[in-house]
Amino acid sequence: MKINWKIKLGILLLLLSFAIYTFAYFNFHEPDKVLFYIVIDLAFMPLDVLLVVIIVEGIINKKEKENILEKMDMIMSVFFSEVGTEILNKTSKLDLNIEKIHYVLDNIETWTDNDFKRFLRKFRKSDYNFDLHIDNEERQEFFIDLQQFLIEKRGFLIRLLENPNLMEKDTFSTLLLGIFHLDEELEKRDIGEKIPETDYIHLINDVDRVYSSLIYEWINYLHYLKVHYPYMLSLAVRTNPFNKEANIHVTE
């Protein structure tokens, strides 16, 4: 079995240290001083471990995690440009309680960091009671449209799922898995046929799961834009899927 290079280096450094101390002990004829400095060096080792391993390494790991999360925020930006915003536009139209979420998100462009954090914390802990509903005559059209859209974006979503940084953000990976599950559910069905009521309830629950996760990630995404790219926040607000009066044109 090959010996790890770190073990080899450790043994080499220990031997080198032993050789230097031995040289000092027998050549300077001051064993008391040599032993004194050995004890001092040993006494410093716990502090060295504290400074290097715990504090310095902790700072480095924190910085690396921040870099990973920054990359994830960029991935989220691409995700919403390609997929997320469109799914929100499609599903928010089904929400009979959309006025409630619209009221909560009103003037979101003026929110502070604490406002965003408070909303996200409350959203995860509470139930906003979304009420998604599709009239009988519109169900097939909705699910066929959603099915085709997800098929078109499947390659893009698979590439997102292959990103190793995704594991750093559980809520986003959960959202992607929910979208893949919905895509698979639709793919296995002949949506052109009449959808039984029980099956419709099952599908609408899958849509609801994605819808709820999307709202959470969308608010997270807007918070990121507000902090880093305010000019991009303006576009996101002007295309707010929860505002029926949203207008892409800048009017103020």
- Spell out the SS3 assignment of 172-223: HHHHHHHHHHHHHHHHCCCCCCCCCHHHHHHHHHHHHHHHHHHHHHHHHHHH
Alpha carbon distances (Å) from 239 to 93, 109, 111, 201, 245: 14, 12, 17, 29, 9
pLDDT of amino acid 56:
63
Q: In this predicted model, what pLDDT tens digit does every residue of 18-30 receive, in sequence order? A: 787 777 777 776 7
- 45, pLDDT greater than 80: no
Integer Cα distance of 115 and 17 in angstroms: 57
Centroid of chain to Cα 231: 22
Q: Is the dihedral of CA 89, 95, 101, 103 positive or negative?
A: positive
Mean pLDDT (whole number) for 225-242: 79
- Integer angstrom CA distances of residue 173 from 24, 46, 72, 118, 123: 59, 40, 11, 22, 18
The string of DSSP letters for 21-80 reads HHHHHHHS--HHHHHHHHHHHHHHHHHHIIIIIIIIHHHHHHHHHHHHHHHHHHHHHHHI
Query: What average pLDDT is seen over the chain?
Result: 80
Handedness of CA 12, 14, 20, 22 (dihedral sign): negative
Structure confidence by residue, pLDDT tens digits, 79-106? 888 999 899 989 988 888 877 777 777 7
Residue keyed to tokens 């893009």: 156
132 three-state secondary structure: strand
Task: For the beta carbon of residue 38, count every other beta carbon within 10 angstroms.
Answer: 14
Select, from the ranges 29-38, 54-63, 151-160, the one with the highest average predicted confidence (pLDDT): 151-160
pLDDT score of 1 = 47
At 156-178, the pLDDT tens digits run: 998 888 877 776 677 888 899 99
Angle at 167 between CA 166 and CA 169, to 5 degrees: 75
